[in-house]
Chains A and B, each alone.
Chain A
Amino acid sequence: MIELDEFTAQVRAFLDGAAQRRPHPTGMVTWGEGTDRISYFGDEPAEVDKANVDAARDWQRIRFEAGFGWITGPEEYGGRGLSRLHDLAYDSVESEYDVPDTGVLSLIGLGMIGPTILEHARAEIRDAYLPAMYRGEVIACQLFSEPGAGSDLANVQTKAVRDGDEWVLSGQKVWTSVAHHSQIGMALCRTNPEQPKHKGITAFLVDMSLPGVEVRPLRQMSGGSEFNEVFLSDVRVPDDHRLGEVDGGWRVTMTTLMNERGSVGGEGAGPVSHVVQAPFLLAMLAAHGHSDDGALRRRLAEVVADLIATESLNRRAVRTLQAGGTPGPEASVSKLMFGSNLTRAAHLAAEIAGPAMAADTGLWGTYSWNELLLSTPALRILGGTEEIMKNILGERVLGLPKEPGNDAKVPFKDQLQAGAAS
């Protein structure tokens, strides 16, 4: 394996040729300079959104062609076969350059579904999709949540019925991020209602262009529309697009979810990391004349301390992976802290700005926090609610008994008859 120093030099050479350095190294903030857009979710109008997606695809292709598109991926699929440390080294160097945000591809598709396909799909499906995904051509979404299956994901009711070499899928999915940009979706379906809920689920890769797939946007409180409802009406999926065993979908799902918690928690502040950091918040405190306010200083220090702690936690998780471990329940801690850090940072900003944040007075870096403020409740819900994360920690890390209830033992169909599934 290539040494980290040499790898980093390669990364720099590539980025020097392909991108511009940011005017300031990360961490430097000049108050009032540059964009003050503070948005976790894509809340732009459709045409801007599309241009951003195109830019993300282009940048991912350039990375891939230069050998940086899937640093930890196997070489046969265009990956580099390197470690998570190499991956992190790349991210760290790239953050010094002004490059398009590739979240639309990477967070779900490349971060969660790619690894799931690699582990659970058959060879021809891996060949068909993995290089295309990491080259930026194919965006993937999770067809997981349903109106009756949120926190209780194993309660999915979308049906898949076998018909020769195909499966016929019908049902409704909801809260599906990036479905409107996706070429494929990973769908969890009920294939065996005779079994308890976790044991009758099968996972499929669904080509989103198939007849019967309909995507409808949902509008968010923060203004944009990044979530969707996805209706599946007699969608015919070939059996070779099945992931894992028939009725073995829950194990496949765990691969995805463990990567999700790592992915969501591990990205730090993601698209808002330029503001959720000590120098920016410090500059904001000064700009609003509150540098000497003891209460705000204490709050700032608390937020910064937790940001540092989370970063350290994420590094420790990487070292665990490095030592051959798999993403474990500690990813839940990371996810919890991620939601809490961004929420507290947004509330701190609201407190610093005071009433000036209530109306758009054109004051730089002030009203623009509203979008994040209105998005923070989502961060405590997406990728597993705080309640679920805490239950995982309680049961799997602390060894507490499970919450009472036996719905995991009764056949799914009996649960439905009892009116237990909404």
Chain B
Amino acid sequence: MSSLDAETTEAVRSSLREMFAGDRLDLPASLAALGWDDVVAEDPATATTLLFVEHGRALATSRALNSVICSALALDDAHTILLPGTDGLGSVATGDTTATGLVLGGLGVGGLGVGGLIDGDPAGRITVPVGTGDGVVLVAVDADPQPDAAPGFDPGSSVTRCTVALPASISGPTVSTTAWAASIAAAQRATAAEIVGVCTSALELAVAHTRAREQYGRPIGAFQAVRHRMSECHAAIESAKDTLRAAWVTTEDIGWAATVAKARAGRTQAEVMRHCIQVFGAMGLTEESDLHRYVTRAAALDGLLGGHLDLSVQLGDALLAGEPVHPVARIKETT
């Protein structure tokens, strides 16, 4: 695996930014036009991080995260994966009759209507990972789907909670628990990058605001109480980026590394949004400013695949137990 040089990285970044700035995003088509598969093959870490950072910056909605899991499991992109539990880190075991969890991807206007998931499996099926003694069986079930809960925190979010019925006897392609864990790790890294993107945009908005907004005869960014908040945001974002970089270069225990990266990104969004919203004053609380969209999106992404508070507890428990932890290992404990 080689790595993209600085010039190429910059070119890819600006292409992606231009793509996300477009009116109607057809991500798979646009990425194909960019020759994305070649970019990913060249340098998966840089490519994936760039894609999701820009995705976050633009507050985009797409099936990209679902594709990350499919790609890690060598599945066709048309599969719509159900991530069990309220945060997508739960489990479904043999014998369960229903599975509730999150599906990723843009549901479009009309949501899960006739014709199944928009852009998803044309047959309207959802792929449910079921843990067995031999590994994780990927069971395709008819979705008959109605989202069973409001999207919640972030109305613009691309995550929906669904409940589907499971067949009495399960069958489907089987992947090892290690492979499943690796796919979750890939999704956690992508989500961490997306959070970094959301935070970066929010900080840019806040910095522009503190440079332009004047009180007491000068820009509020001239006051230490305000500028220190901006500096802390920057430090938090850089720390999240570095943790994410480390998660990509780790060759052993990628689940552990991805969990750390996701936890750090989640904590970063909590810090960044707290500071940004404060410097926006009352403007940040209403729909007068766009900031609220970043606040709710970042919180929704934090809650996906493990919120930073929960992940911190998990990591702490694992450290105390003296061993690294894979998501699937943890999933089994909670069933």
Q: How far is the CA of A361 from the CA of B215 in the complex (A)?
A: 44
Give per-residue flags for B3-19: 1 if the beta carbon is below 8 A from chain A beta carbons, else 0: 00000000000000000
Give per-residue flags for B267-301: 1 if the beta carbon is below 8 A from chain A beta carbons, else 0: 00000001001100110111110001001100010
Instruction: Considering the complex, give the chain B residue whose CB is closest to the CB of A149.
Output: B215
- Known contacts A151-B215, A227-B282, A403-B223; A355/B153 CB under 8 A: no
Task: Kindly count the residue-residue contacts between A and B in the assembled complex, taking CB atoms under 8 Å apart.
Answer: 115
Instruction: Considering the complex, give the chain A residue whose CB is closest to the CB of B282.
Output: A175
Segment at the interface with B among A70-78, A201-209, A381-389 = A381-389
A420, B218: Cβ atoms under 8 Å? yes
Return chain A residues, CB-CB under 8 Å to B215.
Answer: 149-152, 155, 422
Give per-residue flags for A278-307: 1 if the beta carbon is below 8 A from chain B beta carbons, else 0: 000000000000000001000000000000
A145, B282: Cβ atoms under 8 Å? yes
Q: How far is the CA of A170 from the CA of B159 in the complex (A)?
A: 47
A378's contact among B152, B285, B287, B300, by CB below 8 Å, is which?
A: B285
What's the dominant secondary structure at chain A's contact region?
loop
Give the shortest distance, in Å, between A225 (CB) and chain B (any CB).
Answer: 9
Tell me the residues in window 209-246 of chain B with beta carbons closer than 8 Å to chain A beta carbons: 212-218, 220, 223, 225-226
Is B150 an interface residue when CB atoms closer than 8 A count as contact?
yes
Return chain B residues, CB-CB under 8 Å to A405.
Answer: 216-218
Instruction: Considering the complex, give the chain A residue whose CB is closest to the CB of B149.
Output: A359
Is A163 an interface residue when CB atoms closer than 8 A count as contact?
no
Give the shortest distance, in Å, between A291 (CB) and chain B (any CB).
Answer: 15
B281, A150: Cβ atoms under 8 Å? yes
Is A326 an interface residue when CB atoms closer than 8 A count as contact?
no
Q: How far is the CA of A175 from the CA of B284 in the complex (A)?
A: 12
Instruction: Considering the complex, give the chain B residue whose CB is closest to the CB of A390.
Output: B225
Return chain B residues, CB-CB under 8 Å to A420.
Answer: 214, 217-218
B286's contact among A150, A219, A295, A355, by CB below 8 Å, is which?
A: A219
B213, A359: Cβ atoms under 8 Å? no
Return chain B residues, CB-CB under 8 Å to A358.
Answer: 86-87, 152-153, 300, 303
Return chain A residues, CB-CB under 8 Å to B295.
Answer: 221
Is A310 an interface residue when CB atoms closer than 8 A count as contact?
no
A354, B309: Cβ atoms under 8 Å? yes
B282's contact among A382, A386, A418, by CB below 8 Å, is which?
A: A382
Instruction: Considering the complex, give the chain A residue whose CB is closest to the CB of B285.
Output: A378
Tell me the residues in window 174-221 of chain B with beta carbons closer than 8 Å to chain A beta carbons: 212-218, 220
Give per-residue flags for B302-332: 1 if the beta carbon is below 8 A from chain A beta carbons, else 0: 0100010110010000000000000000000
Given contacts A351-B309, A378-B282, 19 further A-B contacts (CB under 8 A): A150-B215, A152-B217, A155-B216, A222-B285, A227-B282, A227-B286, A295-B313, A354-B307, A354-B310, A355-B85, A359-B152, A360-B150, A377-B284, A385-B278, A387-B225, A403-B216, A403-B223, A405-B216, A422-B214
Report 28 cross-chain contacts, Cβ distance below 8 Å, ordered by A residue.
A148-B214, A149-B215, A150-B281, A152-B217, A155-B215, A174-B282, A221-B285, A227-B282, A227-B286, A295-B313, A351-B309, A354-B87, A355-B85, A355-B303, A356-B86, A358-B300, A359-B150, A359-B152, A361-B86, A367-B152, A370-B152, A374-B296, A380-B278, A381-B285, A387-B226, A405-B218, A406-B217, A422-B213
